[in-house]
Amino acid sequence: MKIGSIGFAALMLAVGLIYENMALNMPRGTLAYPGPGLFPLIIGLFMIAMALGCLVQEFLPRKRANAPAGSPAPIEAPAAPASRPP
């Protein structure tokens, strides 16, 4: 968990909430006849969802790999060819 990642996600969440608040004050129209506020509404919801996803990802425990980070993957030896009876 990095403070920078959490701070950036929180900042994007705040920007998304402000953007969504402004979009809610615009006429949305309908899906058949969209108004000028429909697209900003969708973009604001997308920003909020992505910021929440980043925050959740930062707070969930991460799986640990068996090998230390930066080490190469183990190389498997090729299988020996099957011997045929004479």
Which domain, by its residues, includes 8?
A: 3-59
CA atoms within 13 A on the CB side of 77: 3
| 46: in domain | yes
Instruction: Tally the domains of the chain.
Output: 1
Determine how many CB atoms are found less than 10 A away from the CB of residue 59: 9
- Tens digit of each residue's pLDDT (9 = 90 or more) over 14-26: 999 999 999 999 9
Q: Is the pTM of this model over 0.85?
A: no
| 72: in domain | no
85 or 68, which is more confident?
Answer: 85
DSSP collapsed to 3 states, the chain: CCHHHHHHHHHHHHHHHHHHHHHHCCCCECCCCECCCHHHHHHHHHHHHHHHHHHHHHHCCCCCCCCCCCCCCCCCCCCCCCCCCC
Structure confidence at residue 45 (pLDDT): 95
| 74: in domain | no
| 9: in domain | yes
| 86: in domain | no
